[in-house]
Amino acid sequence: MQPLDENRRQKLAERLNQPLTIGSKTVANRLWLAPLAGLGNVAFREVLDGYGGCGLTFTEMCGAKSVPTESPLVSPVFRWREAELPRLVCQVAGATPEQMIPAARRVQDCGFFGFDINMGCSVSGIVKKNAGAALLKDPDQALRVVEGVRGAISIPLFIKFRTGWTPDIEPAVRLAKRFEDAGADCLVFHPRMAPDKRTRPAIRGHIKTIADAVSIPVLGNGDVITPEDCLDMLATTGCAGVSVGRMAIARPWLFAEWTSPYTPPETCFRDYALQLADALDHHFDPVRALKRYRLFTIYFAANFLFGHSLQSRFLKARNMDEIRDAVRKHVQPGMQLVKRPNMNMYNI
């Protein structure tokens, strides 16, 4: 795939900067942050906001049983800044309407832009509770959850889901139509089987199949690494917009780059690594801050030709001050980058 020339880059920005109506609300652009457990936390979102260009952000995955009574002052996941609420969607995983309805009402009462039902997570601990991607095994139960939530709230209702537990796209098509009929306002579709941990390419044509089947907006997700990938997804699938996940953790300025003439400075990687350390220190206790930073380093180090060596230096740090020392010593302008971050590291 050829790099974007100036005309195609401008075309990408024009397509992404079109406002998008979701239910009764409008999003400023069509390039969004995907929900990311452990990564899309309040500290990362604060740093991301500093770059601009992201139309909508999502919380980490929250548990339906916890949300109704959880305090954002102590919760590691159900936590936000007041300034981001008008552009923030809360993603929740749950198995039944009885679990999800109180959570949805709490999310609406807190002032979030919208509520997102997770039907994509296939982590064993979630699936064993019949939540996340497990709901795709029982379409009738999935619909009961959607109908229950839709009847309880008026804010936009999102559903993040995958192809299912087999390669056949038709069950997902039927489910997408039923989601629309049940009152979903937007679908975010990741075209991989539920058990697939990104070891195979996302099947981009399946996004088109889903988008063609419904009249509500469908956001494409999966393997969007470069602006070329983003433009290709928009051009070939007919999706309403693009949801970027782990690449946003690797290079959070991509939202600004792809939607405007923004050019990151030479010190962008070093600045980002230090800003995130400070933000994590501000929002979390020292143990949680360090754990979240270590998870981030997988995707940060994947930017560099010798990323494994860089990551090992981060992992030796015993506290956030040692993290900052590692950044100052080992992340410098001019380090050799890879165009597409190392996918082998992404699958750790």
Binding site, by residue number, is 91, 160, 190, 245-246
- Would you say 191 and 204 are in contact if contact means Cβ atoms under 8 Å apart? yes
Q: What's the chain's length in residues?
A: 348
Structure tokens, 180: 């629309």
Cα–Cα distance list, 142 to 23, 91, 118 (Å) = 20, 15, 10
Taking alpha carbons only, the member of 302, 309, 305 closest to residue 330 is: 309
Question: Alpha helices, DSSP H only, in the chain?
Answer: 6-16, 42-51, 97-110, 124-127, 139-152, 170-181, 204-213, 227-237, 246-250, 254-259, 268-283, 286-301, 307-315, 320-330, 343-346
Q: Which letter does DSSP use for residue 133 in this model?
A: G
Taking alpha carbons only, the member of 181, 166, 235, 264 closest to residue 11 is: 235
How many alpha carbons lie under 13 Å from residue 15 in its C-beta half-sphere? 19
Q: Can you say which residues are annotated as belonging to the binding site for FMN? A: 91, 160, 190, 245-246
Can you tell me the distance from the alpha carbon of 123 to that of 196, in angstroms, rounded to the nearest whole number?
11
Q: What is the largest CA-CA distance in the chain?
A: 55
Can you tell me the distance from the alpha carbon of 324 to that of 326, in angstroms, rounded to the nearest whole number?
5
Q: Which letter does DSSP use for residue 333 in this model?
A: T
Taking alpha carbons only, the member of 45, 54, 53 closest to residue 82 is: 45
Structure tokens, 278: 């400070």
- Residues serving a catalytic function are 121
